Amino acid sequence: MTFTIIETKTVPTIQVLSNSRRMILHSKYNPLKEVNIWCDKEADEIKEDEEIIVIGLGAGYHIQQLANRYPTHKITVIEFNDPFFKWFKQSPFNASLSQNDAISMKQFSALSPTEKNQIFSSISLTNLLIHKSGLDLLPTEFEGVKIALEDIILQKNSLRKQLGNLHSNFEKNNALNDKSICDLKNLYSGKPIILVSAGPSLDKQLPLLKKIHDEKHFVIGAVGTAVKPLIKAKITPDFFMIIDPNEATFGQLTNVSLPETPLYYLSTAYHDTVMLHTGPKRIVYQRGYEAAETQANATNSPLIQTGGSVATTLLDLMVYLGGENIALIGQDLAYTDGKSHANAAYAQINIQGAQKTINYFRTGKVETNRNLSLYRKWFERYAKQHHGLQLYNCTEGGAYIEHWQHISLKDFYNNYNDPK
């Protein structure tokens, strides 16, 4: 791998030659213009009270621009490519950055395990910025990191596209003056909980779930897409949740009457869908959305992690509500038998661009997609971070979820059924 300084119309940039592949780390025409565009896009929602972490040194222009825009922030730059890091430190690009005390440049391989974990676990999505050079120069041994970073980029792009809806829904939902969940901490402490999603495998679980429901020894919480399949099976969940800011959720609650069942809705959930529910409602403020964090702070309300899907959000809510023994059903995270959802769910989609992942029984692979893989990884990380919880995947279909116990719903029922 060789690094060469090349001239452009404005300032020099860097050319990298690696295995006959040529890369330019900034625009070969106008790096400064490119950097301004990048900062406008990537740094538009930087949080004031957190440091900024940047993946990729590049030629340093994007880092200097960030320092100019956010002079009170600490900026930590992580470079995964060891040869490039060493070359950069000896290059003329290093001078202006090394003179700024607010900027810290770190070689990933030189960090301790604790430092590596802290970097990515303590930073919010808005303050983690990924420069193209950081991905281009990632060594092959960090393929897993590259996939995770690409997932973050996908998540951030999705968030940007929905900002208008998020803001509009938040204002309307907040004006409802519904209670938050601050008084519900540990509401279900000591009780086993079943989180019901609407994946294809839900259909085969409904007969046993009906028996569990009727005996009333377990708490049943559901995502919005699972409500209609549950009602059809004569199962009324103890509560359910919606989080999506888009109109697509509206059909989940049309012609649904659950006058005594609490709805937990994310502060940015689609307002018209929230209004369909005539029963009790609680607003849930989410971590990572500034307006929600501000309101939660003002009302002494907790913040819930979202993870990108309604099931990931509902899991963190269940833990706040006291859940310690939690089972997933219908959480396929894959296209079991070529289907996207359970039969009665209002969410069937055409399956396109499928990937493969290890199946629930670890006997082969099942089709999935990038978003579902992102949610699966979130479930895996959550289990690693919450050692005190007993987390079970009882879906009996779909994808295998690392760090979760895989048992049948029948076994979960037998293990925790206590008629007292």
Rounded to whole angstroms, the Cα distance separating 20 from 257 reads 64
Show the tokens assigned to 321.
């509500």
Measured N-to-C along each axis, helices 409-416 and 202-215 cross at an angle, to the nearest 10 degrees, of: 20
Query: What pLDDT, on a 0 to 100 scale, did the predictor assign at position 160?
Result: 73
Show the tokens assigned to 374.
């992102």
Residue 394 DSSP SS3: coil
Query: What pLDDT, on a 0 to 100 scale, did the predictor assign at position 171?
Result: 96
Query: What pLDDT, on a 0 to 100 scale, did the predictor assign at position 153?
Result: 80
Q: How many CB atoms lie within 10 A of CB 31?
A: 23
Q: If residue 223 lies in a helix (H) or strand (E), which one and from where to where?
A: strand 219-223
Sign of the Cα pseudo-torsion (166, 171, 175, 178, in order): positive
Measured N-to-C along each axis, helices 163-174 and 143-161 cross at an angle, to the nearest 10 degrees, of: 60
Is residue 359 within 8 A of residue 400, CB to CB? The reply is: yes
Rounded to whole angstroms, the Cα distance separating 183 from 236 reads 23
Looking at residue 166, the DSSP 8-state letter turns out to be H
Instruction: Beginning with the edge strand found earlier in the chain, give each strand of the sheet holding 325-329 in spatial order.
Output: 303-304, 281-286, 263-266, 239-242, 219-223, 193-196, 325-329, 390-393, 405-406
Q: Scan for tokens 């959720």, then name that residue.
A: 249
Query: What pLDDT, on a 0 to 100 scale, did the predictor assign at position 123?
Result: 66
Show the tokens assigned to 149.
């970073």
Query: What pLDDT, on a 0 to 100 scale, did the predictor assign at position 300?
Result: 96
Q: 219-223 and 193-196 as β-strands: parallel, antiparallel, unpaired?
A: parallel
Rounded to whole angstroms, the Cα distance separating 22 from 99 reads 30
Which stretches of 56-123 are assigned E, i.e. beta strand? 75-79, 103-107
Is residue 275 within 8 A of residue 250, CB to CB? The reply is: no
Name which of 380, 376, 375 is nearest 391 in CA terms: 380
Rounded to whole angstroms, the Cα distance separating 226 from 368 reads 19
**Distance between alpha carbon 322 and the CA centroid of its chain, in Å?**
22
| DSSP string of 196-211, one letter each residue | E--STTHHHHHHHHHH
Q: How far is CA 97 from CA 61, 64, 103, in A?
A: 9, 7, 7
Radius of gyration of the chain (CA): 24
Q: pLDDT by residue for the chain (420 residues), tens digit each? A: 899 999 999 999 999 998 888 999 998 999 999 999 999 888 777 877 788 999 999 999 999 999 999 999 999 999 999 999 999 999 999 998 999 999 999 999 998 888 877 776 656 677 889 999 999 999 989 887 887 787 778 777 767 767 778 999 999 999 999 999 999 999 999 999 999 999 999 999 999 999 999 999 999 999 999 999 999 999 999 999 999 999 989 999 999 999 999 999 999 999 999 999 999 999 999 987 889 999 999 999 999 998 889 999 999 999 999 999 999 999 999 988 778 777 766 665 656 546 899 999 999 999 998 888 889 989 998 999 899 999 999 999 999 999 999 999 999 999 998 765
